[in-house]
A and B are shown apart, each in its own frame.
Chain A
C-alpha cells in the first residue's frame, strides 16, 4: 500500500471481498434498477398539463398507434416531445455524471475528485458563458453558424479542450502524473471561474439573465436533438465500463501495483480522462452545470456496496439516474408551472442521506 489516505472501504480492497458486501452490492443493483423504472414512470406521468394517470394509457397508445381524439393527441405530443426527451436526458446526464465521478475518484485515488473539481465542468461552463457574453461581438459568427446549437457545442468543446490541456500539462514527463493532473485541474477550475466571473461582470442586463439561467443547470431545454447529442457519449461511456473495471480496481491498489498486475496504466488513464471529458462536456452542454451527482452518488454506493468497481460503476450509473430524475420531477412539480433550480433540490434530498450514511459508518467503524 503506497497510499496513506484512507477512505471508506479502501482497506477492504486488498482483503477478500466479504460475502456481506457482495450481497449488499446485488441488493443495491436490484433496488436501484427498480427505483429507476419507477422514477422513469413517474417522470413520464406527472407534469403541469395534468395528464392524469387514467389518461396515461390512452396517451401512450396514441403515441404508439396514433389516435383521432384531440385530447389524446395533445397528451401524446406532451408525452413524446416534452416529457420523454426530458426523462431520457435526466437519466443519461445523471448516470454519466455519477459514473464519471466514480471513475475519477478511482483513478485519482482521491475521494474528492469529480469532474467539477478537476475543472472539466468549469471549462465547459466558461466556453458556454463566453458564447453568451460575446454573442453580439467577437463570437457573433459562431451564433450565425450554429444558431441554437452554438451554446451546447461550445460547452462540449470547452470540456474537451480543458481536459486536453490538463493531460498535456500532466503528461510532460512522459507519464500521466496523477497528482499534477489533480492540482492543475484545480488551478484550471479557478482560472475558468475567474474568467467566467469577468465575462459576467462585463455583460449587459440581458446577457446577465442568460448567464444566471444557464449556470443554474436544468433539464428544461430537453429536446430530441439533445437526446441525440448526448446519447452517443453516454452509450460509449456505459459500453466501455466493463473494460475499465479491472484497470480501476488495479489502480485502487496504487499505480505501481496496477502496473505489476499487468495493467497498461497509461492507456487506462487516457481512456478514463477522455471518456469522462466527453461525457461531462456533453452533459454540461445539454443541461448546464449540475453538481453533487458526480461526488455524492459514488460515495453513496461505496458506503453500501464497497469499492469494487464491478458493482460501483453500474450501481453509480443507476443511482445517478434515479437521483437526478427524482430531483427533476420535484423541481418541475413543487412550484409548477414554474421551476426550481435542480441543484438546490439535489442537495436538499441528497446531503442529509449522505450525512446519515457517513455518520452511521463512522460510529460502527
Chain B
C-alpha cells in the first residue's frame, strides 16, 4: 500500500515534470546507443516489435506508450507519450538520428514538424494484411540497413500466413465472432467494418459479427444480442482475465450464442498481439483459429511452430 502510494506520487510528479525529463533524457538515454550507429525513436507497437526482431533494440532511444511488447521497451527506453499525441520538441530533444513512425502517429502538426526537421523520418503504412506486415518489415529493414536479418523474419511471417491460408480453406462454416475493444465499466466498444480487428478475424477464418457498423463504435446491449456472435474476442487490458468473466455475466452477453455456451466462448487477447499487425500477429491469429476451430488448429499446430 505504502509502496503503491509512493509509486503513484512518483507518477504524478513524472507527469508534471515530463517535458523536463524528456529534454534531460537526451543525456541519460544516450548511453546504450553511444557506440555509434543510429539513435532511433520508434512510434507504434508494430514498429517497435519489428525493430526488436531485427536486433535493433539497442539502437532505440525512445518508444511511444503503445509499445508494450517486448516489455523491456517501455521500461528501458525514454517515453515520447501516446503515439497520437507526440510533442515534436520532446522527440527532437532526444537527439535521434532516425524517427520510425507508423502512419497513425499524430497529431499532424507534430508529425509535420518532425518531417521538416533534419532528422530522417520514415512513415510506415499500416495495411491490415499479411502483405502489410511484410511491407512494414521491408521498409524498416531498408531504413536501418538490416536487410539480412529481415529475410529471416520475412520468411517466418510469410510461412506462418501461408499455413494459415491453407488451414482456412478447410473451414466449412465460418463462425460469427465479435471483437470487443473495451468492455470494462458497463459499455462496450466493438470493431466493425474496415477495422484491424475485422481483418484479424477474417485471417482466423471467422466472420465479423459486427459488420453492420463501421469502425470502432460503442454498441447497445440489445445491439449485441442482434449481432448474435458465436464467440467473443476481448482485448485484454491490465486486469488479467477478470474482464472476460465479468463480461460473461452480463445479461446481454448471456443472450448471445457465445454467452449461452456452458463454457462462455470469450477469449481475452492482448491488443497489439492480435490487431497490431506486427510480427506476432500470425501467431495470435493461429491461436484464435485454434480456439475457434479446435479440429483444424490441432493437426496443424503440431507440425508448425512459428
| A residues with CB within 8 A of B | 47-50, 74, 77-78, 81-83, 86, 132, 134-138, 140-141, 143, 147-148, 151, 198, 201-202, 204-210, 213-214, 216, 218, 220-223, 332, 335-339
Give CA–CA (A136, B188) in the complex, Å: 20
Whether the Cβ atoms of A151 and B223 lie closer than 8 Å is no
Q: Are B184 and A48 in contact, with the CB atoms below 8 A? A: no
Given contacts A136-B238, A151-B185, contact A338 B82 (CB under 8 A): no
Question: With A and B bound together, what is the CA distance between A221 and B189 in angstroms?
Answer: 12
Q: Separation in Å of the A13 CB from the closest CB of chain B? A: 42
* Contact B182–A332 (Cβ < 8 Å): no
* Known contacts A336-B220, A339-B220, A221 near B186 by CB under 8 Å: yes
CA distance A206 to B235 in the complex (A): 9
Known: A78-B225, A136-B239, A337-B213. 13 other contacts (CB 8 A): A47-B226, A82-B252, A135-B239, A138-B8, A206-B235, A207-B237, A210-B184, A221-B186, A221-B187, A223-B251, A337-B222, A338-B217, A338-B218
Residues of chain A within 8 A of B255, CB atoms compared: 74, 77-78, 81-82
Does B4 reach chain A (CB closer than 8 Å)? yes
Nearest CB in chain A to that of B224: its residue: A337
Contact of B220 among A202, A206, A213, A332 (CB under 8 A): A332
B141 to chain A, nearest CB (A): 27
* Residues in B neighbouring A337, C-beta threshold 8 A: 210, 212-213, 219-220, 222-224, 226-227
**Contacts A82-B251, A220-B186; is A339 near B238 (CB within 8 Å)?**
no
Give the docked Cα–Cα distance between A77 and B250 (Å): 12
Complex CA distance for A196 and B189, rounded to whole angstroms: 22
The reply on B17 being an interface residue by CB < 8 A is: no
Q: Which of B65, B66, B185, B213 has the most CB of A within 10 A?
A: B185
Interface residue? B181 (CB, 8 A): yes
A47 lies within 8 A of B218 (CB): no
* A48/B223 in contact, CB under 8 A: yes
Docked pose: A223 CA to B186 CA in angstroms? 9
Which of the residues B8, B66, B210, B221 comes within 8 Å of A220, measured between beta carbons?
Answer: B221
Residues of B within 8 A of A222 (CB): 186, 221
Contact with A along B1-35 (1 / 0, CB 8 A): 10011011001100100000000000000000000
Least distance between A30 CB and chain B CB atoms (Å): 32
Could you pull out 21 A-B pairs where Cβ atoms are within 8 angstroms?
A47-B226, A49-B226, A82-B251, A137-B8, A138-B4, A147-B246, A198-B15, A202-B15, A204-B238, A206-B182, A206-B235, A206-B238, A209-B181, A220-B218, A221-B186, A221-B187, A337-B213, A337-B222, A337-B227, A338-B219, A339-B187
With contact pairs A223-B251, A337-B227 given, residues A49 and B222 touching in the complex (Cβ less than 8 Å): yes
- B153-197 Cβ-contact flags toward A at 8 Å (1 or 0): 000000000000000000000000000011011111100100000
Give bound CA distance, A135 to B220, whole Å.
25
Contacts of B132 in A (CB 8 A): none
Which of chain B's residues have a CB closer than 8 A to the CB of A220? 186-188, 218, 220-221
Query: Given B1, B223, B235, which contacts A332 in the complex, CB threshold below 8 Å?
Result: B223
B225 touches A210 (CB 8 A): no
Nearest chain B residue, comparing its CB with the CB of A140 = B4
- The answer to whether B218 touches A206 (Cβ under 8 A) is no
Contact (Cβ within 8 A) A338 B239: no
Whether the Cβ atoms of A206 and B219 lie closer than 8 Å is no
Residues of B within 8 A of A198 (CB): 12, 15
Asked if B65 contacts A48 (CB within 8 A), the reply is: no
Would B225 and A82 count as touching, CB distance under 8 A?
Answer: yes
Q: Distance in Å from the Cβ of B234 to the closest Cβ of chain A?
A: 11
Question: Complex: how many Å from CA A140 to CA B237?
Answer: 14
A216 to B224, CA, bound (A): 19
Q: Which of A49, A141, A205, A208 is B225 in contact with, Cβ under 8 Å?
A: A49
Contact at B226–A201, with CB atoms within 8 Å? no
Measured CA separation A49–B189 after assembly (Å)? 18
B203-243 contact mask (Cβ, 8 Å, vs A): 1 or 0: 00000001011000111111111110000000101110000
Q: Which 8 A-B pairs have the closest CB atoms?
A: A221-B186, A337-B223, A206-B237, A81-B251, A338-B217, A48-B226, A47-B222, A332-B220
B218 close to A138 (CB less than 8 A): no
Complex Cα–Cα for A83 and B252 (A): 10
Residue of A nearest to B246 (CB): A148
Asked if B271 is at the interface (CB within 8 A of a chain A CB), the reply is yes
Using CB atoms, name the residue of chain A closest to B238: A136
- Count chain B CB atoms within 10 A of each CB in A49, A137, A218 and give the residue with the most: A49
- Do B15 and A339 touch across chains, with their CB atoms under 8 A apart? no
- Nearest residue in B to A286 (C-beta to C-beta)? B186
Closest CB in chain B relative to A276 CB, distance in Å:
24
Contact B222 A205 (CB under 8 A): no
Q: Which residues of A contact B213 (CB under 8 A)?
A: 335, 337-338
Minimum CB–CB distance from A255 to chain B (whole Å) comes to 42
- For residues 126 through 156 of chain B, which have their beta carbon under 8 Å from a beta carbon of chain A? none
A211 nearest in chain B by CB position: B185
Q: How far is the CA of A143 from the CA of B239 in the complex (A)?
A: 10
Residue B12 contacts which of A147, A151, A202, A218 (CB distance < 8 angstroms)? A202
Chain B residue contacts of A221, Cβ below 8 A: 185-187
- Alpha-carbon distance between A213 and B255 when the two chains are bound, in angstroms: 23
Residue pair A205, B186 in contact (C-beta under 8 Å): no
Among candidates A86, A202, A207, A213, residue contacting B187 with C-beta atoms closer than 8 Å: A213
Cα(A317)–Cα(B15), bound, Å: 43
A81 to B253, CA, bound (A): 11
CA–CA, A39 to B5, complex, Å? Answer: 49
A335 to B210 alpha-carbon distance, docked (Å): 13
